[in-house]
Amino acid sequence: MSASRTFRKVLVANRGEIAVRVMRTLREMGIASVAVYSAADRASLHVRMADEAYPIGPAPANESYLLVERIIDAAKKAGCDAIHPGYGFLSENPALPEACERAGVTFIGPPASAMRAMGSKTAARDKMEAAGVPIVPGARCDTTDEALAAAKKIGFPVMLKAASGGGGKGMRLVEGPRDMAGAWERARSEAKKFFGDDTVYIEKAILRPRHVEIQVLGDREGNLVHVFERDCSIQRRNQKVVEETPSPAASRELVARMGAIAVQGAKSVGYFSAGTFEFLLAEDGSFYFLEMNTRLQVEHPVTELVTGLDLVREMVHVAQGEKLTFAQRDLASRGAAIECRVYAEDPSNGFLPSPGVIESLVVPSGPGVRDDGGAYAGCTISSYYDPLISKLSVWAPTREHAILRMRRALSEYVVTGIRTNLAFHEKLFAHPEFAAGRYDTGFIERYKGELLGYPQVKPERRNAVAAAVAVAAARMERATGATQATAGESGSRLSPWVAQHRARLK
């Protein structure tokens, strides 16, 4: 291994809130940051935050952020020592660290060999099974007939999954034999569209599971630790919406066992830097390997809040050739942290994206509140990329206090000009079953009538019903002289003072 070095300048091969978040740590470390941007992101916050910025192509990601050669070219022009990939885009593509090595630029992340070993879900299952990691019963299949035979052997219901995918794409639940043919074709078609690979595999469907993941962190000398768990079971369309730690469903003993197995799995592929092992946790306490994300996770702030670590800083130290400065026994989790993802989307309309210009933006603050944002008033949420506005996280001494703190923070959050999921989050955090910690990956679907608006009203009547509710509320306020909060465009409830401020902005 080469001697450690100190980076002078790092290119962040990403955009939005994660690029801003990485740049903040770089600035604290005295390292200059370089942004790259597509034509759609010329005025984005991450471009304004960086010390330097370079254009890399048109708006579509496959013509800009997904082109390895454009990223390397920008790094060379800027004279960068290293590249941090963030998450998404090229963050789990081994072609980027390999190109970095050829260009003499350090990749801030795991080795390409580990990425390749864990990049294919089918290959990763084989690797982890050989390493003693428990996996969900499953099979690889090439035809519908093979899938049907495997499903009958495993037992329905089963899940079809894209071998090269993630984020809920290329996934189908198959309840019985009659559903297999259609589900197989749809899963393969979606896998091909999103990942360029129509390979699909089959797994036993674990009913009412929790989605619990383990953060791992290692250096180049083989020192590896786990940094506890995150419960990511609140999902829509198999994509995470809310994450928390500790998990309400996992004892400290169970987390220790899951953590030890995650470290064991990471060592088996020569892993270093930050990464995450994702598990399905069954109601009986058994757990099964789902996949490994060979990158920094979206939800990493909750881990940072309970441990005091800066995971981006640790990734930079490891990339510079430094050893971890702590062992497993030195790590402790304190209090409770929760994160919710604030999206430009319409939950009442199937969570469809809601791109557009943000007219005004009021971000919550105060004790125990952290907002990792990538937007500002006047910026455009583009239709070309994931519509994430920010990640709102809170910390408190107990889970009960953290939920109350999140509800307070959400009440302060204001976004106008576009639709957001803020009202959805307010309903979710007020739901008694969530407050009790009784949830699984089917929570949103199970309680959608309570979380998503007017479930008994036909779509063509929803605007009329909403208008009637608004008129009734206005009449009541005039009649009583009340000064209660009024509903904002974002769905949050605004105080009269914020409402007046908003009126002045228009």
pLDDT at 499: 55
Task: Give the mean pLDDT of the chain.
Answer: 90
Q: Which pLDDT belongs to residue 167? A: 64
> Residue 225: beta bridge partners?
217
Residue 243 binned pLDDT confidence (cut-offs 50, 70, 90)? very high
pLDDT digits (tens, 9 = 90+) for 345-369: 999 999 999 999 999 999 999 999 9
Whether 125 is catalytic: no
Name the phi and psi angles at 296, rounded to 5: -75, 140
Confidence of residue 237 (pLDDT cuts 50, 70, 90): confident
The dihedral over CA atoms of 156, 188, 343, 212, expressed in degrees to the nearest 10, equals: 40
Q: What percent of the chain has pLDDT over 70?
A: 88
Per-residue tokens: 279: 């598990």
Residues 6+ apart with CB under 8 A from 137: 154, 203, 204
How many other C-beta atoms are found inside a 10 Å radius of the C-beta of residue 383? 13
Is the predicted pLDDT of residue 28 greater than 50, yes or no? yes
- Average pLDDT in the 121-149 region? 90
Q: How many residues does the chain have?
A: 506
Nearest residue to 231 (alpha-carbon basis) of 421, 434, 371, 398:
434
Query: If DSSP states are collapsed to H, E and C, what string results for 299-323?
Result: CHHHHHHHHCCCHHHHHHHHHCCCC
12 touches 296 (CB < 8 A): no
On the question of pLDDT at 59 being above 80, the answer is yes
The greatest distance separating any two alpha carbons of the chain, rounded to the nearest whole angstrom, comes to 76
- Count of alpha carbons within 13 angstroms of residue 237, beta-carbon side: 8
Topology of 9-108 in CATH?
A: Rossmann fold (3.40.50)
Q: What is the pLDDT of residues 37-49, one digit of tens each?
A: 999 999 999 999 9
Spatial separation of the C-alpha atoms in residues 273 and 291, rounded to whole Å: 17
Residue 246: cis peptide before it, omega within 30 degrees of 0: yes
CA angle 264, 267, 272 (to 5 degrees): 130
pTM for the model stands at: 0.84
Per-residue pLDDT averaged across 270-299, rounded? Answer: 95
Of 157-166, 242-251, 309-318, least confident by mean pLDDT is: 157-166
Rg (CA), the chain: 23
Q: With a cut of 60, say whether residue 241 has pLDDT above it.
A: yes
CATH superfamily of 137-204: ATP-grasp fold, A domain (3.30.1490.20)
pLDDT for 120 beyond 90: no
pLDDT digits (tens, 9 = 90+) for 363-417: 999 999 999 999 999 999 999 999 999 999 999 999 999 999 999 999 999 999 9
Fold match between domain 9-108 and domain 137-204: no
d(CA 355, CA 364): 22
Greater pLDDT, 391 or 283: 391
Catalytic-labelled residue, pool 21, 172, 236, 295: 295
Domain edges within the chain: 9-108, 137-204, 342-387+401-429+449-506
Q: What is the mean pLDDT of residues 462-483?
A: 45
